[in-house]
Chains A and B, each alone.
Chain A
Amino acid sequence: MSETVIVAGTFLISYTLILGYAVHLHLRRRRSER
């Protein structure tokens, strides 16, 4: 695999984790408001 793909994939996975956590918080908030 090329260096560029590995580096881009590492950034992508890291920010996906953050985004996933933000979505998790959003869904938890909505559930508790119901």
Chain B
Amino acid sequence: MTRVKLLMGLAAIAVAIGLWFALTAPPDALQGQYSRLLGIHPPAMWVAFIAFGITALGSIMWLIKKTERWDRLAAASVEVGVIFTAIGLFTGMVWGQAVWGTPWDWQDPRLMSTAVMFFVYLGYLALRSSIDDPNLRARRSAILGMIAVVQVPLVYFSVNLFRTLHQGQSIRPDGSTMPDEMLIAMLVNMGALMVVYVALMVARLDVAKAEAAAAPESTVAGEAVRPPRLNEVEDV
């Protein structure tokens, strides 16, 4: 069995355990069944934050070491992080419709900062696909990956910094604001989604390696007629 298949199997088991906890926790007195979304909405956003943190780490390491594997790590983590952010936004909208009576509020700092973060990382992926030179692509995306991560604490602490529809932090240094059963369900799902993240990352890195090995020397159309670069021109 390959490493990816083993990790995907582990992820499926972890998700099944997480779902069991989320679906058997007692419903909230006010929110009813919607409180079960604690098992997907906060864990998905936390995993996205970690993913973007790992992108920043990969970006910084690429700028220091200039080795391809750090660039691959950063790119893979953005892709997976964007998936989890999309899930966080979607589940949040369903929850918002149920609890606030609206899926979206254009003036809400938590919602808007999350949406901006989502689009910035989509922009990161667009930037990567628009540059063919691997070195230039790695450098430019490393700079963006390093800068974009400042949004993570901004999104996370936006509920403390501004007035917002969104509830405050559920887990604070002085303890949790929710009953133990709900807290445990949320943390178990956090663990389950972390296993999913690791499985998807390993699969994505494998794809990147396989594609790099299969790729021709250059994928640039018209490479033969490109103008010489300054560092390629010999002194005469």
**Chain A interface (Cβ within 8 Å of chain B)?**
3-4, 6-7, 10-11, 13-15, 17-18, 21-22, 25-26, 28-29, 32-33
| Residue B211 is within 8 A (CB to CB) of chain A in the complex | yes
The 4 A-B residue pairs with the shortest CB-CB distance in the complex, in nearest-first order: A3-B33, A32-B210, A32-B214, A25-B203
Q: Which residues of A contact B90 (CB under 8 A)?
A: 10, 13-14
| Residue B63 is within 8 A (CB to CB) of chain A in the complex | no
Tell me, rounded to whole Å, the shortest Cβ–Cβ distance linking A1 to chain B: 11
**Chain B interface (Cβ within 8 Å of chain A)?**
8, 15, 19, 22, 32-34, 36-37, 39-40, 44, 80, 83, 86-87, 90-91, 94, 98, 196, 199-200, 203-204, 206-207, 210-211, 213-214
Q: Which residues of B contact A11 (CB under 8 A)?
A: 19, 22, 39-40
B-side interface mostly: helix
Tell me, rounded to whole Å, the shortest Cβ–Cβ distance linking A28 to chain B: 5
Whether A14 lies near B40 (C-beta < 8 A) is: yes
Tell me, rounded to whole Å, the shortest Cβ–Cβ distance linking A5 to chain B: 9
Q: Which residues of B contact A6 (CB under 8 A)?
A: 33-34, 94, 98
Contacts A22-B8, A28-B211, A29-B210 given; does A10 touch B203 at CB 8 Å: no
Q: Which of A7, A15, A17 touches B86 (beta carbons < 8 Å)?
A: A17
CA distance A22 to B200 in the complex (A): 7
CA distance A21 to B200 in the complex (A): 8
Whether B83 lies near A25 (C-beta < 8 A) is: no
CA distance A25 to B90 in the complex (A): 22
Tell me, rounded to whole Å, the shortest Cβ–Cβ distance linking B56 to chain A: 22
Contacts A3-B33, A7-B34 given; does A29 touch B203 at CB 8 Å: yes
Whether B207 lies near A18 (C-beta < 8 A) is: no
Tell me, rounded to whole Å, the shortest Cβ–Cβ distance linking A18 to chain B: 6
Whether B210 lies near A7 (C-beta < 8 A) is: no
CA distance A14 to B88 in the complex (A): 9
Q: Which residues of B contact A29 (CB under 8 A)?
A: 203, 206-207, 210
Tell me, rounded to whole Å, the shortest Cβ–Cβ distance linking A21 to chain B: 5
Q: Which residues of B contact A26 (CB under 8 A)?
A: 203
CA distance A25 to B184 in the complex (A): 32
Tell me, rounded to whole Å, the shortest Cβ–Cβ distance linking A10 to chain B: 5
Tell me, rounded to whole Å, the shortest Cβ–Cβ distance linking A12 to chain B: 10
Tell me, rounded to whole Å, the shortest Cβ–Cβ distance linking B19 to chain A: 7
